[in-house]
């Protein structure tokens, strides 16, 4: 396992609060903690925008957590989020379409959101990697690249199939690594797990228990 400093890993973290019961006070506390931890970004639900980022990258989600929204609704949600100050939007694909092999539909869904939030807004595509066989995971990563996404992301953290895995990140990295960013998220609770995912090719981490993960690293 590679040696990484606490500061290096912190700058790869989206400090995340997407619980349905989150309050404005919780989000304010999240941002304060994010600044104290030195992380790159915070990720919050779209109705919590705008937030006082004060130097933090602000990320949000759309089509979350099921992905079973029409493309027009996802695009509208992403547009509103960008107008409210989101620098990055993490959208959920239609996992059912991917499992059915309808990768054109997956690509077109992503492309609709991409058109709604052009660069410099960053678009991350949540693929629910734990729910997909490798063949489908490769295909949806390729669809995300074809549609103009900036990142592929493993998981919402809300799917019953699970969250990030080293194997999934390795597959994603082999498919689009070096061209798209790879965000590992969902169930990452230890320093060892975070480092293993980074070693596998992740370039960003979505963490809710950020302090505990970073506590295991030296400066």
SS3 175: helix
Given the residues 14, 74, 90, 150, the one annotated as active site: 90
Residue 181 CB partners (closer than 8 Å, separation 6+): 124, 150, 151, 152, 203, 204
Residue 214 parent element (H or E): helix 210-215
Q: Rounded to whole angstroms, how far apart are CA atoms 218 and 7?
A: 9
Question: Is residue 183 among the annotated active site residues?
Answer: yes
Closest listed residue to residue 97, CA positions, set 116, 71, 118, 124: 71
Q: Rounded to whole angstroms, how far apart are CA atoms 87 and 66?
A: 22
In the structure encoding, which two tokens stand for residue 76, read together?
A: 């509208």
Give the E-state strand segments of 22-174 in sequence order: 41-44, 57-62, 88-92, 122-126, 151-153
* DSSP characters over 16-47: EE--TT--HHHHHHHHHHHHHHT-SEEEE-GG
Residue 215, exposed/middle/buried by CB under 10 A (0-12, 13-18, 19+)? Answer: exposed
Question: Is residue 74 among the annotated active site residues?
Answer: no
Cβ 183 vs Cβ 206: under 8 Å:
yes
Question: Is residue 153 among the annotated active site residues?
Answer: yes
Active site residues: 90, 153, 183
């Amino acid at each position: 396992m590679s040696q990484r400093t606490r500061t290096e890993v912190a700058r790869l973290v989206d400090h995340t609060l997407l619980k349905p019961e989150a309050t404005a006070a919780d989000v304010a506390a999240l941002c304060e903690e994010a600044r104290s931890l030195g992380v790159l970004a915070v990720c919050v639900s779209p109705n919590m925008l705008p937030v006082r980022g004060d130097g933090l990258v602000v990320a949000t989600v759309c089509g979350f957590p099921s992905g079973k929204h029409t493309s027009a609704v996802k695009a509208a949600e992403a547009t509103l989020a960008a107008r409210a100050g989101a620098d990055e939007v993490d959208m959920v694909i239609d996992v059912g379409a991917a499992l059915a092999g309808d990768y054109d539909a997956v690509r077109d869904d992503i492309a609709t959101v991409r058109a709604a939030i052009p660069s410099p807004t960053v678009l991350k595509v949540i693929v629910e990697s734990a729910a997909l066989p490798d063949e489908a995971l490769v295909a949806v990563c390729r669809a995300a690249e074809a549609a103009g996404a900036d990142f592929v992301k493993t998981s919402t953290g809300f799917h019953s199939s699970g969250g990030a895995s080293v194997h999934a990140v390795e597959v994603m990295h082999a498919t689009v690594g070096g061209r798209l960013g790879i965000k590992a998220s969902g169930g990452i609770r230890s320093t060892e797990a975070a480092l293993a995912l980074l070693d596998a090719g992740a370039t960003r981490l979505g963490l809710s228990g950020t302090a505990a993960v970073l506590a295991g690293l030296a400066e």
